[in-house]
Amino acid sequence: MGGKKLRICGLTMAAVTMVQAINAGLRRAMTNDASVVLMGEDIGRLGGVFRVTEGLQQSFGEQRVIDSPLAESGLVGTAIGMAMRGYRPVIEIQFDGFIYPAFDQIVSQLAKFHRRTDGAVQVPVVIRIPYGGGIGAVEHHSESPEAYFAHTAGLRILSPGDPSAAYRMIQQAVSSPDPVLFFEPKRRYWDRAEVDQEQIDAQLNVTGPWRARLARRGSDVTVACYGPMVRTCLEAAHVASQEGIAELEVIDLQSLAPIDFDAIEESVNRTGRLVVVHEAPMTAGLGAEIAATLTERCFYVLQAPVARVTGFDVPYPASRLEHAYLPSVDRILDAVEDTLEG
């Protein structure tokens, strides 16, 4: 395979998966900072359910890559205490639907401790959460709970859309002085892409993690998305162009808290139209906040109402029906055509 090579764990590859990219990012963060400690259920010997932490315990030992009990609340609480003592814990929640036992620890303690101590104590905890559907999983394994946490002041939220972003953003999350929830789109874990590791490393402190990325330039409609929907929206943009429907500009939000509204506004000022896409249900989702804010900012520019393409307001369905639940290229293009007619 052509292109630039990437060296990860001693292996040279032309393209890597998101799993490998996150693993490499964690490895570099642990190498550079001895206070970085990983914790989670089965993340050590097994390497995690999705093998994201594979090989790290062998490299850094059981004192820095810790297999925890099956107790999410205790896991987050322990991480908070370690952060108060100067460590930088990175914990893994095995699946999105398992985050709820730790909800109180996250929104009542982790999010508020810096404020509660009047800035005296920082809690630089990273919580890694595989999220979203599309892998044919059983109940409680395909949730999209990001809006719960984006509503909570004091938390930062990141979600990479491809391996390059994942490699960069996991390192930036670990180095952040604030608590970060790192939502990893599990349906994209095995997508491959070339990653220029040296270039990313050189720009880690230049490119901030809280900024959106222009994933594709277009002139007719802005499509704002994140995480698992980035690839789907890029596919929709390709089809729209090939079929002469429109030239879509795709904005990969990357940061869900804070949201880079300036980047979306700049794009909408060019296109005059906006479609927001995410897997989570529509009601009170991030799409609603984006639609409201951009309507306020771009009222006299918008040529049609902001459209949303999302999951439905129902519990996530059985795997045999998830194709009907998840936003698809066809549903995105339907929204694009509606907004072009608006």
Maximum distance among all alpha carbons in the chain? Answer: 60
pLDDT on residue 96: 95
| Coil/strand/helix, residue 37 | strand
Dist. CA 166–CA 8, nearest whole Å: 14
Reply yes or no on whether the pLDDT at 261 is more than 90: yes
pLDDT on residue 207: 78
Same domain, yes or no: 244 and 179:
no
Strand duo 126-131 + 11-13: pairing: unpaired
Reply yes or no on whether the pLDDT at 5 is more than 60: no
Dist. CA 44–CA 38, nearest whole Å: 9
**Domain-embedded: residue 120:** yes
pLDDT on residue 208: 83
pLDDT on residue 3: 42
pTM for the whole structure = 0.94
Which has more pLDDT, 4 or 231?
231
Dist. CA 315–CA 150, nearest whole Å: 20
Phi, psi of 223, deg, nearest 5: -115, 115
Share of the chain above pLDDT 90, in %: 91
- Binned at pLDDT 50, 70 and 90, residue 1 comes out as very low
**Domain-embedded: residue 208:** no
Contact status, residue 220 vs residue 250, Cβ threshold 8 Å: no
- Binned at pLDDT 50, 70 and 90, residue 205 comes out as confident
Name 300's Cβ contacts closer than 8 Å, sequence gap at least 6: none
Question: Which residues are tagged catalytic?
Answer: 141
pLDDT in tens, 70-125: 999 999 999 999 999 999 999 999 999 999 999 999 999 999 999 999 999 999 99
CATH of the domain at 276: 3.40.50.920
Q: What is the mean pLDDT of residues 146-155?
A: 97
**Domain-embedded: residue 281:** yes
Strand duo 221-225 + 213-216: pairing: unpaired
Among residues 197, 211, 223, the alpha carbon closest in space to that of 332 is found at 223
pLDDT on residue 99: 96
pLDDT on residue 316: 96
pLDDT in tens, 279-300: 999 999 999 999 999 999 999 9
Same domain, yes or no: 119 and 233:
no
Same domain, yes or no: 95 and 229:
no
Same domain, yes or no: 244 and 325:
yes
Domain count across the chain:
2
Same domain, yes or no: 175 and 40:
yes
Q: What is the mean pLDDT of residues 258-285?
A: 98
pLDDT on residue 13: 47
| Average pLDDT score over the chain | 94
Same domain, yes or no: 197 and 325:
no
Same domain, yes or no: 270 and 164:
no
Dist. CA 59–CA 262, nearest whole Å: 42
Among residues 79, 66, 84, 144, the alpha carbon closest in space to that of 105 is found at 79
Give the single-character DSSP code of 161. S
Alpha helices in the chain (DSSP H): 18-32, 56-60, 72-84, 103-104, 113-116, 146-150, 163-175, 197-202, 229-242, 261-271, 286-297, 322-325, 329-341
Reply yes or no on whether the pLDDT at 232 is more than 90: yes
pLDDT on residue 325: 96
Contact status, residue 327 vs residue 340, Cβ threshold 8 Å: no
Phi, psi of 60, deg, nearest 5: -115, -5
pLDDT on residue 342: 73
Tokens of 43: 């993340």
Phi, psi of 59, deg, nearest 5: -80, -40
Last residue of a domain, one of 152, 183, 202: 202
Same domain, yes or no: 177 and 260:
no
Same domain, yes or no: 257 and 310:
yes
- Binned at pLDDT 50, 70 and 90, residue 14 comes out as low
**Domain-embedded: residue 1:** no
pLDDT on residue 206: 82
Q: 11 - beta bridge partners? A: 8
Same domain, yes or no: 85 and 155:
yes
What residue numbers bound the domain in which 322 lies? 213-341
Which has more pLDDT, 197 or 3?
197
Last residue of a domain, one of 143, 174, 202: 202
pLDDT on residue 203: 86
